[in-house]
Amino acid sequence: MEALPNQMQIAWIAAGGCLSRALATAAGLGIADIMDGGPLPHRTLAERTGSDPDVMLRLMQVLAMGGVVESDEDGAFAMTEAFTALRADHPRSLRNFCILMGEMYDDAFGALPHTVRTGESGFRHVFGVPLYEYLETEPEAGRIFDGAMSELARPVVAALTERHDFSAVRTVVDVGGGDGTVLAGILARHPHLTGVCVDRTSVCARAEESLRAGPGHRAVGRVTFHPADIFEEVPAGGDRYLLKNVLHDWSPEMCVRVLTAIGRAMRRTIEAREPGLAPPRLLVLEPLLDREPDAAHVLFQMVMCGKDAGGLGESDVRRLLQRAGLVPVHVERLAGGHHVFECVPATEEAE
């Protein structure tokens, strides 16, 4: 019996996990990079990836159903223009992001019923530890995670450098800055700047090699990696402090802790400076998640980190800043959706 339209819609949504896994598998095998030279038969793809040819054919057919690839009259497959960002060398690549979402994060989402019932992290329920603890012990997962975060960060950095004036800044400190992608993007636009990237020890250990091999290689020598627990201590000496996409991963108490640590660093910087020099400022970059269309992103955050990390609105961020003794002097929405809260310590509130 022919399926009714609403049944087709239900079936397609129900099968979405299959397509997500297929996309992640293709990304992991480097299919888009292999296809960069033009259409290839499935047997060639199987040979070049060390895969079973019969299964590779079905994988390509599933991807074709999702518009990822298309086949020609000879049965060879080619990447569609809309999915060329699966290539590793694409300037807006999403290769690592697709692997992250379709594999580790999809595994965690298997515990969605647990999160719905309890409000607790589905990731922790599946993997036994919180997300960042897991990344400490799984180097390959950490590499994919770092790559995915870098891919998502690049358009945000481009939007920030278009809007924010760094001309009077000398040192930028990125708190929770991962592999240095954000700093490298800012420094590429401003050759007079130096940067300090503060993150977990394991992240910093692999970050410099990643920076040298990636698009940010021009910033090598101007970026220093500083291992630290950002909830306890942040280095002083910055003219601009950055905190991008950190707050929405944590409970309000943890958010206040990292903001307070940054505030202490800013105050130490002020105390050590000569009178008359401009005080440091903090730029908090967050995708505000307080509208009904943000529900999917908010639910995702809850599964990863628990219901306390279920997204922030502007009023939420302002409350966190106030609790940490910080004052937003300017708030702006960037192209792409992120908001920037430009902040000073309460005692240094701008006129």
Residues designated catalytic? 248
The CA-atom distances, in angstroms, between 121 and each of 20, 51, 105, 148 are 21, 35, 12, 21
In 10 A of CB 58, how many CB atoms? 12
Contact between 284 and 247 under an 8 Å Cβ cutoff? The reply is yes
Task: Determine which helix (DSSP H) or strand (DSSP E) holds 70, and give its type and residue range.
Answer: strand 69-71
Q: Which of 97, 163, 116 is nearest to 333 (CA)?
A: 163
Report yes or no: 146 and 203 within 8 Å, Cβ to Cβ: yes
Q: What are phi and psi of 238, to 5 degrees?
A: -85, 150
DSSP β-ladder status, 326-333 and 339-345: antiparallel
* Contact between 161 and 109 (Cβ < 8 Å): no
Please state, in angstroms and as integers, the Cα–Cα distance from residue 176 to each residue in 142, 150, 234, 283, following that order: 14, 12, 10, 13
